[in-house]
Structure 1
Amino acid sequence: MLKILIVDDEILERTALTKIINSSSKDVMVIGEAPNGRIAIEMAREQRPDIIFMDIKMPGIDGVQAVKAIKKINPVIRFIMVSAFNTFEYAKEVMQQGVKEYILKPSRKQDILAALERVSSEIFEESKQREEQHNLRQNLDRAVSIAQKEWVSTVLVNQVQDITFDEWGQLLGVEITSGYIMLFLLRPKEGTEISIDQKQNWYLWLKDTLHSVGMNQEMMVGPLTDLQVPVLFLTKKTIEKVHLKTNAQMIIDQLNRIFEKKGFNAELRIGVGLPYNHAHELNKSYLEAHMALQQLAKTSNRKYLFAVKQGSAELPSSSELLETEKKLLEAVRQGDVNQVLFIFESFATMLVEEKNTNGSLVKKSFDELFILVSRMLHELGISYERIPAVEESEEIMTIFEKGKAHLLAVVHHVQVWRNNHAKGMLHKAKEYIERHYAESITLESAAEYVELSPYYFSKLFKDRFGMTFIDYLTEIRINRAKAEMVDPGKSLKEICYSIGYKDPNYFSRVFKKHTGLSPTEFRKVTVS
């Protein structure tokens, strides 16, 4: 609904214009009348109209002066000039202010409405373009974020081979010569748990805050996994250890100060790896950051730790290795390829550190892992008996590659099994959405409820129902809004909040996109 202000020193002219406009269109409404330029300026400041019908010749501040003053207050307001003086000089003055419409008194109704239609169409078209550009930016930002997560995941599982820092720099538009990893951990306080919403809020806060305190460094924020977030910092020049510590220390100090003020009911821990000058070496920086976090877990008074050199951090304990093994099994059970590759790399590194590269002990540990995987498959009802033949005489890397290949084959069978059993789980997810649509429900929370990874859940949901998770959630909310609108005692704002939307304007846009009518229009049609 566009807001119109009428400015004219003749009351009959104002009344006539108001009547013509209010009775002609459902998309515009006269919100006020001003008898002179001074009052017009005050009303424009307070009521922020979209369009002003402005008489040129008025006592005191005339129409041209009022247009200039209002343009300074709000340059997007459109003007339709009205005057009995058909002279080029008047038209020229207002045209210099960007005014395109000029009608003469006495004005014919069709001239008034034609000018109003042209200006209204221009405003609506610009609004539509802004919304499309906003949506495009959001989609682009989301795509870039997903791509960055994939890059970081690729780095961490050491799959970077051909891409160089020069190529990364070309993609980002800056000169990149080295990089390092920081690993952030949100640790719950003793006796407390962290909810899904708290995890997501912290993750979003971390991304936003890092970019605000990032010392103009390029960075890529990785995925949130088990309350850990890896962040890849890319530097524009080779940095020595002292420079790394200076930059990283400033980021960490600012981040910790802001974290304390936010009041998260948890503790922030940070491990920092060393910088490397080649992309394929960044996995070392991640492992160093991971080892630093492990050391921090054994202390209560330190919030961050810098790696000194690769392998210098204290060796992982047996309990830590077992915990990583559990995470690996869970990733296999979920059928999540990315997580299996991600955790397997850490598991293999920790295993070598603990067993001191003893091939016999490493083989034994892998045999035990394969037995656990086989037992888990049996419990799920999956028939897959093949176990790789690993010889003690084989090199460690060969044992690792066989182990990884076996796990990937198992994950494939798990995915097939989950596809066959997806109907029940997706029905359960639908019920979850229908019960919680009025809350801050997310893809991640729904996936966690049915014990699937978000990526896998999203793919299954789209394949099964022919629509995305967010489309289904929106459909549920809009249908509920329609039902609520039958009750004239409920305001549209109240209905908006009751179905899970926090912004009435956004709700109105979504509603119109799905129904072709605004909430107000729909309610009029339904109630009548």
Structure 2
Amino acid sequence: MRILIAEDELLERKAMIKFIEANFNDMKVVGEAPNGRRAIELAQTVKPDIIFMDIKMPGLNGLEAIEKIRQVNSAVKFILVSAYDSFAYAKQAMQFGIKEYILKPGKKEEIVRAILRVQKEILFKQKKDEETLKSNELVKEHLLTKLMKNPVDEGAKSIQRQFFPVCKNGYFLVVQMERDIPLENFYSILEKHLTTPFIMQHHDDQYTICVFTPGKVNKAEILHAARGVQLELGNDSFVGAGNPSATIDDLPKSYQEAFTACYELEKEGSRHYGFLNKKENSIHRDKSMSRLIEIIERGNDQDAVHLYKEDLRYFGTRDVDELYLRIKDMMMERGLAVPERSLSELTTEKDWEKFITACCLRMQDYYQSKQYIEKAKTFMQQHFQRSLTLEETALHVGLSPNYFSNLFKQEFGTTFIDYLTKIRLQRAKELLEENRFSLKEISSMVGYNDPNYFSRVFKKHFSESPKHFRQTILKK
């Protein structure tokens, strides 16, 4: 704690200084004033936490000095010291919120108790201020996150009005930098080049800054700020700038522009700051569409909807038409029906979200079916030698026989028995070509207990008997 002694008696000042230094290790006397005017001057320069103020001093008295000091620094705490037991002084001091009053000559115990009470009050306020500051910073970070996503909800607007009431406009900057820099240093650079309030978020090697402005700001001003920040950060930094937003609702668009501009600047390597140009915007749109199709193809509905909402602003009418057709083609290639929604019915963002979700769910069913079928194929390849049934295979993959039968036929265009027969006969041909086993042995090895029935099935599929097939092979 920093203490200032305001006392016109030199010996009294020195005695108090000695007493404080002897009894308090965490207290430091940073100044001493022989009168009220000097106390006011020192209060501004040495920034004390506590002031011992004598009431009766030449020139400005202690109470007059307190009034002027509090106009500049309302946080400083006072302990009044007086040789006069005057109720009038004490009553006037209470108007300034001063609770500690020591009569000369003060007893040591009384002085210690007064100092400890004031110290406790200061520490309590500091802790509360720190908690409030931390809470406010968390709320601002929450606001920043909300302003990065469409749509901006009423909660975000309420926070904006609370912390930035006069700022109706704004823009985003996104900074990418390879090397680490202390956050306080980065913040100082931003304060130097941004003349209006801002909030910042740091994640890995990327810094996202939302700048609030009381009125409209032009692109030249934004570019000037981005240039100043980038030059000071150095050549390993890239600063992407978003276009100015006329309303809070437009800020997510500015963020997306700044983010994409930063990404393209880093990839390009020739520029280190600036806006997203039209060509880059077109490239980003194409990449976004391809990425969205890819995510839908994987059946990831949450990521697909999120990406669509993030990049919707880049899609014009023709882009939306193309997106619909590409989704339709992708699904038809897999034999899947597009959800029963025509393009003309997709008029709102919610319509598109439902459509994309429905497409993703169908893709999930498609992949799930593929997994069942692959599992069934493996099981059939491993067990075709014995009497294998559809019911047993359906039980193995965890499906009902009816559903499995329909799913199997949809995938292969044939029945379970026909597919099983195909596997068995293909293996029979391989064994016949090897010419190591008798026809009876081969019949048993491919799942037929009756050799005659095996011969009839073989002849039906290949238009010749197993015996004739082997003879033909041997003649070659």
Give the alignment's TM-score, normalised by structure 1: 0.45
The structure with the larger Rg is 2
